Amino acid sequence: MSSSLLADWRDRPTHRRVWALAAPMILSNISVPLVALVDSTVIGHLPHAHQLGAVAVGASMYIFLAWMMGFLRMGTTGFSAQAAGRGDGTALRQILVQGLLLSVLLSMLLGAIATPFSTVALSVMQPSAELHELTLDFFHTRLFGLPAALASYALVGWFLGTQNARAPLAILLTTNLVNIALNLWFVLGLDWGVVGAARASVIAEWSGALLGLWLTRGALRKFPGTLVLAALTVWQNWKPLLGVNRDIFIRSLMLQSVFFAITLQGARLGDATVAANVLLLNGLLLAAHALDGLAHAVEALCGHAIGARDRIALRRSMVVACGWSLLASVAFALLFLFGGHLFIEMQTDIPSVRETAFQYLPYLALLPLIAVWSYLLDGLFIGATRAREMRNAMVISVIIALPVAWALHGYGNHGLWISFLLFMVLRSLTLGVYAWRMQRRDEWFTPRAAS
């Protein structure tokens, strides 16, 4: 067994294929947490903790709504990867249009529930009056970018499935570099404060989505086919995508609920605590988005291998991505362990927020080592369009972690972070068990039944 793994690891063509996809995705993914870091750094050097807290809470509410729709990227990636593996250009066109149509409909739905959602969320948090007002201003402004954000999810997922990493790189870099530049101009140059950060994000999201739509023209030329509009009116053609998306939606809803609960509980513990937690979670975002670059490579390569029914390529892609993910997670753990204080100090000069964040740096250092396996396994299940297993693993993890979190709530923010670490351990373990069972039963190449 070990000699087989070693032979897979030494396969140079697989390393080249993994990094051809992972490198541009890591570069583009890193720009996402960099935006959060710029937001925190710009707002964090304004005089009051509630200003940084407003960006933290407002962004958390927006992300909760938007990232619940992460299935628009994940479901699209798996199906487009398998269609590309079959060389089916007609199916690729259908998947692209279906993803974009879903993004429009879902953005309308989320827009309708956003205001009552924010009212309920803030009433539960019970923030200070200053934090409450600024949070609503930020959140309501960010909603104007929601249709573009969801369209970008579908576009990035579709491009990844076709093993085109340059287009997602262009979309995400454009979005996030525009965001950073406008953030600095609006907040520092024009003195628009918290609302300026939100306006920068809205303009950036529309810039990225429009660029992505334009790039699809060149990508489609590589896969000859035709878009059959009549097929879009047949319910049977939507069932596989909607079935997978339903399961990923449930999984994403539960995952974002966990992250939102951290912000909610932090807000109840005070402005300094919620601000400190967001600075620490920026570190997790940085590590997660970099490691997700390798997971995205797994999605595309494993989906392609399953579409082509190539067992050797599937195994080699997982082994190589696993090895590089482990090395990267160790590097991030060491970075946060020895450079964590500098990481916090770069983001804010508010003494109360700094001192609070310093206390919880050991938890941040542990997170990459624990979380990396769930990212990698998510990539495998997404590429295989096995969303039901992802959903079940997430449900089991939350059910087990929830009573522990309740028991530890008396320990304040330490209890919150311990509960979060446990949740991430459970995510990795449950996904690992499902993957092991499917491997033993040789189920990766069994067609998924529409539901």
Q: Is 266 or 255 the better-scoring residue by pLDDT?
A: 255
If phi > 0 it is left, if psi is from -120 to 50 it is alpha, else beta; for residue 356 that is alpha
Alpha carbon distance 421, 82 (integer Å): 34
pLDDT at 148 (0 to 100): 92
Alpha carbon distance 162, 299 (integer Å): 11
Residue 409, both tokens = 């709530």
Could you list the residue range(s) of the whole structural domain that residue 89 is in? 2-440
For residue 365, is it within any domain?
Answer: yes
Confidence of residue 373 (pLDDT cuts 50, 70, 90): very high
Alpha carbon distance 447, 386 (integer Å): 10
pLDDT at 327 (0 to 100): 93
Contacts of 385 (CB under 8 A, 6+ apart): 75, 78, 79, 82, 240, 244, 303, 448
User: Dihedral sign, CA of 322, 325, 331, 335?
Assistant: negative
For residue 431, is it within any domain?
Answer: yes
If phi > 0 it is left, if psi is from -120 to 50 it is alpha, else beta; for residue 446 that is beta
pLDDT at 45 (0 to 100): 58
Alpha helices in 269-310 (DSSP H): 271-307
In the predicted model, is pLDDT for residue 450 greater than 50? no
Q: Provide the whole-model pTM.
A: 0.70
Percent of residues, the chain, with pLDDT higher than 70:
90
For residue 106, is it within any domain?
Answer: yes
For residue 446, is it within any domain?
Answer: no
pLDDT at 163 (0 to 100): 79
Q: Residue 119, Cβ neighbours under 10 Å: how many?
A: 11
In the predicted model, is pLDDT for residue 47 greater than 60? no
Matching residue, tokens 């080249």: 16
Alpha carbon distance 160, 299 (integer Å): 8
Contacts of 160 (CB under 8 A, 6+ apart): 21, 25, 73, 77, 80, 81, 168, 296, 299, 300
pLDDT at 423 (0 to 100): 94
Contact of 313 with 396, CB cutoff 8 Å: no
Of 448, 73, 446, 434, residue with least CA distance to 249: 73
CA-based end-to-end distance of the chain: 37
User: Dihedral sign, CA of 433, 436, 441, 442?
Assistant: positive
Measured between alpha carbons, how far is residue 420 from residues 93, 357, 384, 398, 401 in Å?
Answer: 40, 16, 28, 10, 8
Output the DSSP codes for 139-162. Answer: HHHHGGGHHHHHHHHHHHHHHHHT
pLDDT at 48 (0 to 100): 59
Q: Residue 247, Cβ neighbours under 10 Å: how many?
A: 23
SS3 content of the chain, % helix, strand, coil (to 5): 90, 0, 10
For residue 450, is it within any domain?
Answer: no
For residue 451, is it within any domain?
Answer: no
**Domains in the chain: how many in total?**
1
Contact of 32 with 172, CB cutoff 8 Å: yes
Alpha carbon distance 172, 25 (integer Å): 9
pLDDT at 303 (0 to 100): 78
For residue 161, is it within any domain?
Answer: yes
Q: What is the pLDDT of residues 91-116, one digit of tens each?
A: 888 888 888 998 899 899 988 888 88
Alpha carbon distance 284, 365 (integer Å): 9
Alpha helices in 221-234 (DSSP H): none
pLDDT at 267 (0 to 100): 67
For residue 383, is it within any domain?
Answer: yes
Residue 398, both tokens = 């939350």
Least confident of 26-30, 197-201, 365-369, 390-394: 26-30
Give the mean pLDDT of the chain: 82
Mean pLDDT of the 6-19 span = 82
